[in-house]
Structure 1
Amino acid sequence: MRWMRLWLWPLALLWSLALAFPRVGVHEGFTRLAFDLPSKEVRHTLAQEVGALTLVLEGVSAPAQDQVVNSREVASVQTLPEMGRVRVVVRLKGPVEATVRRFSDPERLVVDLALKAQTAPSPPAAPAALPHRAPKPPRPVVLLDPGHGGVDPGMVGYVVEKEVVLDVALRLKRLLEGEGVEVRLTRERDAHLSPDKREDLSRRAALADSSQVNLFISIHVNATPTHTGRGVEVFYFGRAQDPRVLSQVIRENGGGELGKRLTQEAQSVAERILSDIVAQANQRYSQRLAETLGRKLSQATGSPYRGSFPGDFFVLRYAKVPAVLVEIGFGDHPVEGRRLAEPAYREKVAQGLLLGVLTFLANGAYAR
């Protein structure tokens, strides 16, 4: 597993998500500008003069903004919409070196700005300067949400959902921390966040709406009315298109009339995503995370991968980082349900989720 430490190089990309164009991240030794682009056809030009850097993006639109940054390198960033393009003026605090990179799927442009080293003559007897060391990237923070808990047992079949998902989350926490990832939990014991289902889900969702978290993974156990379903499914936030998925969303949102009401609230948020370019970008990252987790979990356990789907899950509705709800298996299936009761199988589940998280980070899929 140590080879997975190769993911460390892009982790500086995973630190600050601002609802702006560009997204601005301030790091030790550099300032990062990240632009979410609608397509590969967008072209850019970069020009630098004394005190300012100008970036022009052809074929993209964005609202006018003036962001105060006040980092070592940058005083402010101004976004100026023009006919068929956007001009971004970066006001600098000194001469900088600009590193520009393009990423695909989803398409984005990343510009790193670092102050140029100021050279001065050294006294003849001065010792040689130590070699420059690149700043260490910040540790990523993963928020794990073991679903249900306390007064809410979740599904009950060959296993009780709230017990299985807590055990898997604690195992995954141990594995991720062994790889240098910081892990937080919405619950660490058999407890609810509130006896009221709406308040409970709202508190979990609020924890994912934080600049201190990089990924949010809500862990659940699946079930079907026929007790014949088997396999892994992963969901990201969006309008549920499949009636089967909608039924599952209602169940996870509390079931019955409460589940329907909370689903309707989440649907109104999902509709707003269609007009929010930043929310759309985060939805694409969440979809990529869902696909990666699902496939790695299936490979580790041998359970079929049933796919990743958009869903109006109340707990995912306000996440500003890649966020998914993963159904690790069907607790009412006569084979898979019994497997989920076995500690060795739960360890395989945790290993699969670990590989999914590390692969997602290693691919640099989420530039921030």
Structure 2
Amino acid sequence: MTSSSRALLFLLACICWVPVTAGAGERPARIVIDPGHGGVKEGAKGPGALREKEVALQIAHRLRSRLEAAGGEVYLTRERDALVSLTERVEMTNDHGADLFISIHANSMPTPRMRARTEGVETYFLSASASGEAALAVADRENSEAPMSRAARGDSTLALILDDLVRTEAHADSSRLAYAIHPRLVARTRAADRGVQQAPFFVLSGVECPAVLVEVGYISHPEEGLKLGRADYQEKLAEAISEGVLAFLKDTRRRDAARPAQVAGSQTP
């Protein structure tokens, strides 16, 4: 290998590592990946024996490998086919002091006609009100494993919790993270673009960092469901999500570095 080739490889490696590795005295970005469902909670069903819980876990492992290769400190809320409650997932994320949270799911439709025609990727961030009825239906399905149903919890209580979240920078950054990931998902997979959405997901509501939920496709669709079970397609999904994460982290670090340092006692009460 020539010296110019070695220099080029070194430069490329540095570019890949900048977003998630830290500067002097700083730790790497800490990322929690949440494979949806698990154990007796199988999630949505796909062609043959394909289940959402398996697809989500496989993609999560692939995503972790990519983010770790880029220097990230990555945790999974479940490493295997095990039942982990939504509350435990939230607590685990906060206990790790995560900088980012990404929940992986696969979507589905209830009727044969809708299953045959509905496909595509969606990326969600938290909101007290959903983007529409379809987004609310997705949230209700994913929230079915929550300690209480949406009806039992009460919309007013949820709104009270989320009103406080709306004022936090983590919530604003959740939107930025969703918009960093989603177009890359569409470009890599060429899946139907069902947009960035917002909805009241329980698993996102208690996380103390930027958080998104990615519906990687409709496992109930006869063609897209088969794709979701393929290793090569899962790699495309993992690659797209990791690229979005790295772009988000790079932009966030650039933003934070540009902020003026606060001097103790300079703020007025």
Q: Which amino acid aligns with 1:224?
A: M
What is the aligned-residue RMSD (CA, Å)? Answer: 2.5
Equivalent positions of 1:249-288 (< 5 A) are 249-254=139-144, 259-261=149-151, 264=153, 268-275=157-164, 278-279=167-168, 281-288=169-176
- Using the TM superposition, give the Cα deviation of residue 180 of structure 1 relative to its aligned residue in structure 2, in angstroms: 0.4
- Whether 2:129 is the aligned partner of 1:244: answer no
Q: Which amino acid aligns with 1:206?
A: E
- Whether 2:239 is the aligned partner of 1:351: answer yes
- Structure 1 contact 270–317 (Cα < 8 Å) conserved: no
Equivalent positions of 1:79-98 (< 5 A) are none
- Counterparts of 1:256 and 1:176, CA distance in 2: 29
CA 1:272–1:157 in structure 2 vs 1: closer, same or farther (change >3 Å)?
same
- Using the TM superposition, give the Cα deviation of residue 268 of structure 1 relative to its aligned residue in structure 2, in angstroms: 2.6
Q: How many residues align?
A: 237
- Counterparts of 1:291 and 1:207, CA distance in 2: 25
Q: Secondary structure at the match of 2:64?
A: helix
Q: Secondary structure at the match of 1:173?
A: helix
- Using the TM superposition, give the Cα deviation of residue 255 of structure 1 relative to its aligned residue in structure 2, in angstroms: 7.1
Q: Secondary structure at the match of 2:198?
A: strand
TM-score, normalised to structure 2, is 0.80
Q: Secondary structure at the match of 1:344?
A: helix
Greater relative contact order (Cα < 8 A, sep 6+):
2
Q: Deviations over 1:235-268 (max 9, x none)?
A: 1111214111111111111179954347x45763
Q: Secondary structure at the match of 1:175?
A: helix
- Structure 2 contact 20–71 (Cα < 8 Å) conserved: no
- Whether 2:44 is the aligned partner of 1:6: answer no
Say which one has the larger Rg: 1
- Structure 1 contact 237–270 (Cα < 8 Å) conserved: no
Unmatched tracts of structure 2, length 5 or more: 1-11, 258-269
Unmatched tracts of structure 1, length 5 or more: 13-134, 194-199
Larger fraction in strand:
1
Equivalent positions of 1:117-136 (< 5 A) are 135-136=24-25
Counting aligned pairs with the same residue, the percent is 34
Q: Secondary structure at the match of 1:183?
A: strand
What residue in structure 1 maps to residue 195 of structure 2? 307
- Whether 2:214 is the aligned partner of 1:326: answer yes
TM-score, normalised to structure 1, is 0.59
- Counterparts of 1:174 and 1:256, CA distance in 2: 29
- Using the TM superposition, give the Cα deviation of residue 282 of structure 1 relative to its aligned residue in structure 2, in angstroms: 1.6
- Using the TM superposition, give the Cα deviation of residue 140 of structure 1 relative to its aligned residue in structure 2, in angstroms: 0.6
Equivalent positions of 1:27-106 (< 5 A) are none
